[in-house]
C-alpha cells in the first residue's frame, strides 16, 4: 500500500463531545428539547445535514419544518466549537508518523464540512502530517459515494490497488466497497464491531498499531 486515506470523526479523533455540544446548543437556541449524547453518536457519519435532520426529528420536529434554520444555527455554533474537547485516539499519532517514515502518503476524507475538517486536522495534527485533507464541499458527493476517494487518489497520483481506506462506520465500509479499495474498520470509534460486521467489513482492528501490518 502506498496511500492511506482516513475517515476523521471516530477514526483519527474523538470528536463526539464537539458534535454533541454543538447539536445541544443548536436545539437550545431553537427552543427545542434536548437529545442525548448517545443519540447524537448514532446520527454521526453522514454529514452535517443528516446529523441535524435526525437531531430535529429526535427533538420533536418530525416534519423537519425547521431544518434550514437548524442548519444555519448549527453551522455557526459548530464552526466556533469544532475542536471542543477533541483528542486523537491513543496510538494514532505514532502510527501516522511510522507510516510517513515508510513513505506512505496520508489523507483525510470526511463528511464533516470542509472548513471544520481542516480546522480539526490542523489543530490536532498540524499542517504537515497529511498530504491531502478533504471534507464535505460543493461539487463532490459525500460518502458513501466514492467520488471523494477518487479525487484524493488523483491528487496523490495513486491507484486504487495501492490504497487503504480506514474508517469506523457502516458509511465507511460502503465507501471502501464502492471505491474498490481495501477497507479496514476500526473498533474504537462511534460504531460497534457488530455494526461494522453487519455492514460487510472484512477486516476490523482494535488498535492503530495494527494498521502497520497492511503497509
Per-residue pLDDT of 143-162, as tens digits, reads 999 999 999 999 999 999 99
pLDDT higher than threshold 90 for residue 204 = yes
Residue 215: the pLDDT is: 84
**CATH class of the domain at 16-81:** mainly alpha
Q: What is the pTM of this model?
A: 0.95
What secondary structure, in 3-state letters, does the chain show? Answer: CCEEEECCECCCEECHHHHHHHHHHHHHHCCCCCCCHHHHHHHCCCCHHHHHHHHHHHCCCCCCCCHHHHHHHHHHHHHHHCCCCCEECCCHHHHHHHHHHCCCEEEEEEEEEHHHHHHHHHHHHCCCCCCEEEEECCCCCCCCCCHHHHHHHHHHCCCHHHEEEEECCHHHHHHHHHHCCEEEEECCCCCCHHHHHHHCCCCEECCHHHHHHHC
CATH number of the domain at 3-14+86-214, please? Answer: 3.40.50.1000
Q: How do the domains of the chain map onto residue ranges? A: 3-14+86-214, 16-81
- Count of positions (residues) in the chain: 215
Give the model's confidence band at 175: pLDDT under 50 very low, under 70 low, under 90 confident, else very high: very high
Residue 29's alpha-carbon distances to 10, 32, 63, 138, in angstroms, are 27, 8, 19, 27
Give the model's confidence band at 83: pLDDT under 50 very low, under 70 low, under 90 confident, else very high: very high
Peptide bond into 107 cis (omega under 30): no
Per-residue pLDDT of 120-137, as tens digits, reads 999 999 999 999 999 999
Q: What is the mean pLDDT of the chain?
A: 97
Q: Do domains 3-14+86-214 and 16-81 have the same CATH topology?
A: no
Positions annotated as catalytic residues are: 7
Amino acid at each position: 500500500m502506498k496511500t492511506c486515506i482516513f475517515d476523521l470523526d471516530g477514526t483519527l479523533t474523538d470528536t463526539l463531545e464537539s458534535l454533541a455540544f454543538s447539536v445541544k446548543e443548536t436545539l437550545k437556541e431553537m427552543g427545542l428539547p434536548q437529545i442525548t449524547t448517545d443519540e447524537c453518536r448514532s446520527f454521526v457519519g453522514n454529514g452535517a445535514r443528516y446529523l441535524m435532520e435526525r437531531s430535529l426529528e429526535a427533538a420533536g420536529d418530525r416534519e423537519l419544518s425547521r431544518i434550514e434554520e437548524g442548519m444555519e444555527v448549527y453551522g455557526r455554533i459548530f464552526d466556533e466549537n469544532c475542536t471542543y474537547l477533541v483528542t486523537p485516539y491513543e496510538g494514532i499519532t505514532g502510527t501516522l508518523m511510522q507510516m510517513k517514515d515508510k513513505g506512505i502518503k496520508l489523507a483525510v476524507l470526511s463528511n464533516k464540512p470542509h472548513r471544520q475538517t481542516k480546522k480539526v486536522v490542523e489543530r490536532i495534527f498540524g499542517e504537515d502530517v497529511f498530504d491531502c485533507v478533504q471534507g464535505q464541499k460543493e461539487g463532490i458527493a459525500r460518502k458513501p459515494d466514492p467520488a471523494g476517494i477518487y479525487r484524493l487518489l488523483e491528487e496523490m497520483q495513486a491507484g486504487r490497488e495501492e490504497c487503504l481506506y480506514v474508517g469506523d462506520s457502516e458509511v465507511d465500509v460502503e465507501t471502501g466497497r464502492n471505491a474498490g479499495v481495501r477497507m479496514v474498520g476500526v473498533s474504537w470509534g462511534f460504531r460497534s464491531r457488530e455494526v461494522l460486521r453487519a455492514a460487510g467489513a472484512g477486516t476490523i482492528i482494535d488498535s492503530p498499531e495494527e494498521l502497520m501490518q497492511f503497509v
